[in-house]
């Protein structure tokens, strides 16, 4: 492969960097199999159905609920556990509904945190707690409605977080108090699981089903509770209530109600789905009449100590009628999944990426089956996605069996970026599909020193070598992707990749289906010293056909 003769900013020769890297690295084999999802059916026996109605993922572990598991001897559901082993999800265990579990539909809600699993039932009376000990999953505790006076039904939605001193669980109870709803708090410390406060909507809206969806930030400082039927007699129904941790208990911070691009925006079921981290809150609204009739929407908010300002509103990229866009959401750092389980073809999931320009649509995931409500349940972790399609029909029984799809990492951030003269470490992100046929992938470098110049480059191997003011993270066969370009006054640069290997600016053979290529941006930083250069972190991208 021929390397470009042009030099990097600051007169750094590409040949010199390449010689250093090739001395310390070897050609890495291409990584295959990350483009195609791994589809899994219920591992149980009989005419099972509802598999994938609830899903959760944490680290290398995934939990899949089958709340309507059907057995000849009469069963009330189960939960299947899978573990990621070298990129392949393998069945690890199946947890049957305990005989003591009250309420049925075991597995209608699940949440994983480390080696702790919560399992609830739709409109149930209990939530079961399981913990992995010595390789086995044991039923270690039960959260019962009787621990909370006045709560009739609990467990429709679940979320957990770990604070510095304890584990906090939020349990939704949308059918309690004659459908006004509530959410209860449980805490696990050295004394075990203890009942905490009961959260209710402070505006006393009736029939709002407060607790239909819950989310909690990973640090446990804030949580959100959806009430998608709040103000249900109005076309603008739904609200999300945000609570903050004050001392040892949660108190109200803000109520968020629908707001659209126009004064007459008509939202429905705002708050049917919620997810959050320490900085971002995502709210799904399944129905909206404008700009697409009943098409659904997703609303994204910043979460900080000052308030909860709105970042963006997303609508279905397909622009179709009533596809259920926003019925489910899953936030994974700068990535976002949005389910549209009613989309034609059996459902769809849309992926978004946060860049310097905001939240941008990248691509769509579709089911392999023509039905199933693919996208009704979502989970995401570290660039991987778990998608439930719980209503796949065609089995031998009269019920609808389900399936789930595991999508592996096609984009992964790695290596260390050091702060530059702005005080920030520059960040590299990608937007667009990783499909060579789609040919719409772009790279964005942000938080770079304004007014400087930089260059995007790629290679086939990973390294981590100190170089000037940062770290060079790419090795093997290397090539510059374009001429050096100016960094904007906003501190970012971008490059649309041309995946047509016949063009001269694309290294021959670099972009191949199944190949994993590594990208980085190198830039000048004269304020850090004469001739200083720095780097973003690096991205690994696996290309699909």
With respect to residue 425, please indicate whether it lies within any of the assigned structural domains: yes
Q: How far is CA 479 from the centre of its chain?
A: 32
Instruction: Please say whether the dihedral angle defined by the alpha carbons of residues 174, 49, 131 and 115, taken in this order, is positive or negative.
Output: negative
What pLDDT is stored for residue 72 in this prediction?
Answer: 42
Q: Residue 18 in 3-state DSSP?
A: helix
Q: How many residues does the chain have?
A: 545
Among the listed residues 189, 126, 193, the one whose alpha carbon sits nearest the alpha carbon of residue 153: 126
Model confidence pTM above 0.95: no
Handedness of CA 147, 149, 152, 156 (dihedral sign): negative
Distance CA 114, CA 161 (A): 10
SS3 371: coil
3-state secondary structure of 198: strand
Q: Which of 320, 316, 314 lies closest to 344, judged by CA?
A: 320
Distance set, CA 11 to CA 7, 17, 136, 381 (Å): 6, 12, 59, 40
pLDDT at 5: 31
Q: Which CATH number do you get for residue 537?
A: 2.60.40
Given a contact cutoff of 8 angstroms between Cβ atoms, the answer to whether 455 and 8 are in contact is yes
Cβ atoms of 54 and 110 closer than 8 Å: yes
Whether a cis peptide bond, with omega within 30° of 0, leads into 291 is yes
Contacts of 74 (CB under 8 A, 6+ apart): none
Query: For 37, which DSSP code?
Result: -
In whole angstroms, what is the distance from residue 245 CA to residue 243 CA?
A: 7
SS3 call for 260? coil
With beta carbons less than 8 A apart as the criterion, state whether 387 and 378 touch: yes
Q: Are 399 and 376 in contact (CB under 8 A)?
A: no
Burial of 141 (C-beta count, 10 Å sphere; 0-12/13-18/19+): middle
Task: Name the nearest CA neighbour of 284 among 261, 258, 252, 311.
Answer: 258
How many whole angstroms separate alpha carbon 283 and alpha carbon 275?
7
Query: Does residue 311 form part of some domain?
Result: no
**How crowded is the C-beta side of 469, counted as CA atoms within 13 Å?**
23
- Eight-class DSSP state of 288: E
Parent domain of 449: 14-32+413-542
Residue 454 lies in a domain: yes
pLDDT in tens, the chain (545 residues): 233 333 333 344 444 444 434 333 333 333 333 567 888 887 764 445 688 999 999 999 999 998 875 444 445 789 999 999 988 899 999 999 888 776 668 999 999 999 999 999 876 788 999 999 998 999 999 888 888 877 767 899 999 999 888 999 999 988 876 568 899 999 998 888 999 999 988 776 666 889 999 999 999 999 999 998 866 555 557 899 999 999 889 999 999 988 754 433 456 789 999 999 999 999 999 875 555 555 689 999 999 888 899 999 999 888 776 788 999 999 999 999 999 998 887 899 999 988 878 898 988 888 776 677 899 999 999 889 999 998 865 443 434 578 889 988 778 889 989 999 999 999 998 888 888 888 888 999 999 999 999 999 999 999 999 999 999 999 988 889 999 999 999 999 999 998 865 443 445 556 778 788 999 999 999 998 888 999 999 999 988 88
- Asked if the structure places residue 258 within a domain, the reply is no
Residue 512, domain member (yes or no): yes
Among 493, 482, 417, 416, smallest CA distance to 449 is for 493
Angle at 379 between CA 376 and CA 380, to 5 degrees: 140
270 within a domain of the structure (yes/no): no
Closest CA to 182 of 203, 162, 158, 212: 212
Query: For residue 334, with 0-12 CB atoms within 10 Å meaning exposed, 13-18 middle and 19 or more buried, which class applies?
Result: middle
Any domain includes 95: no
Contact 306, 320 (CB under 8 A): no
What local confidence, expressed as pLDDT, does residue 29 receive?
A: 32
Structure tokens at 318: 């397909």
- Report yes or no on 463 lying in a domain: yes
Bridge partners for 167 per DSSP? 162, 188
The single-letter DSSP state of residue 146 is: G
Number of domains in the chain: 1
**Which pLDDT does position 288 carry in this prediction?**
55
Instruction: Report residue 540 as tokens.
Output: 């690994």
Tell me which DSSP letter residue 527 carries.
G
Given a contact cutoff of 8 angstroms between Cβ atoms, the answer to whether 67 and 501 are in contact is no
């Amino acid at each position: 492969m021929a390397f470009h003769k042009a030099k990097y900013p600051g007169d750094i020769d590409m040949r010199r960097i390449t010689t250093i890297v090739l001395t310390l690295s070897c050609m890495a084999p291409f990584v295959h199999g990350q483009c195609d999802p791994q589809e899994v059916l219920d591992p149980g026996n009989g005419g099972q159905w509802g598999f994938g109605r609830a899903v959760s993922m944490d680290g290398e572990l995934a939990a899949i609920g089958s709340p309507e598991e059907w057995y000849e001897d009469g069963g009330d559901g189960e939960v299947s556990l899978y573990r990621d082993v070298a990129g392949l999800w393998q069945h690890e265990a199946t947890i049957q509904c305990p005989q003591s579990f009250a309420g049925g539909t075991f597995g209608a809600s699940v949440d994983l945190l480390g080696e702790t699993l919560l399992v609830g039932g739709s409109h149930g009376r209990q939530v079961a707690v399981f913990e992995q000990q010595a390789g086995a999953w044991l039923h270690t505790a039960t959260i019962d409605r009787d621990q909370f006076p006045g709560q009739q039904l609990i467990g429709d939605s679940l979320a957990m977080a770990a604070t510095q001193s304890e584990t906090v669980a939020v349990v939704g109870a949308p059918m309690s108090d004659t459908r006004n709803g509530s959410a209860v708090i449980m805490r696990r410390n050295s004394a075990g699981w203890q009942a905490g406060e009961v959260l209710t909507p402070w505006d006393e809206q009736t029939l709002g089903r407060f607790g239909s969806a819950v989310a909690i930030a990973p640090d446990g400082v804030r949580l959100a509770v959806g009430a998608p039927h709040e103000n249900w007699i109005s076309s603008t129904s739904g609200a999300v209530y945000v609570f903050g941790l004050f001392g040892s208990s949660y108190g109200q911070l803000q109520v968020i109600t629908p707001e659209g691009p126009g004064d007459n925006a008509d939202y429905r079921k705002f708050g049917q789905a919620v997810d959050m981290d320490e900085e971002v809150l995502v709210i799904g609204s399944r129905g909206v009449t404008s700009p697409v009739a009943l098409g659904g929407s997703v609303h994204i908010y910043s979460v900080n100590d000052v308030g909860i300002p709105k970042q963006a509103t997303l609508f279905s990229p397909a622009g179709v009628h009533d596809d259920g866009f926003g019925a489910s959401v899953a936030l994974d750092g700068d990535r976002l999944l949005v389910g549209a389980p009613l989309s034609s073809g059996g459902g769809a999931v849309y992926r978004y990426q946060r860049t310097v320009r905001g939240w941008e649509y990248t691509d769509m995931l579709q089911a392999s089956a023509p039905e199933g409500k693919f996208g009704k349940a979502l989970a995401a972790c570290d660039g991987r996605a778990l998608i439930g399609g719980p209503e796949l029909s065609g089995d031998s029984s009269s019920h609808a069996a389900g399936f789930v799809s595991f999508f592996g990492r096609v984009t992964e951030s790695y290596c260390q970026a050091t702060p530059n003269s702005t005080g920030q470490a520059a960040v590299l992100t990608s937007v667009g599909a990783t499909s060579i046929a789609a040919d719409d992938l772009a790279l964005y470098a942000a938080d770079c020193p304004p007014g400087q110049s930089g260059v995007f480059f790629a290679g086939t191997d990973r390294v981590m070598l100190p170089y000037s003011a940062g770290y060079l993270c790419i090795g093997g066969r290397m090539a510059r992707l374009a001429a050096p370009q100016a960094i904007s006054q906003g501190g970012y640069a971008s490059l649309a990749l041309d995946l047509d290997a016949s063009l001269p600016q694309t290294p021959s053979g670099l972009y191949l289906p199944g190949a994993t290529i590594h990208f980085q941006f190198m830039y000048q930083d004269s304020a850090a010293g004469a001739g200083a250069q720095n780097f973003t972190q690096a991205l690994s991208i696996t290309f699909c056909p």
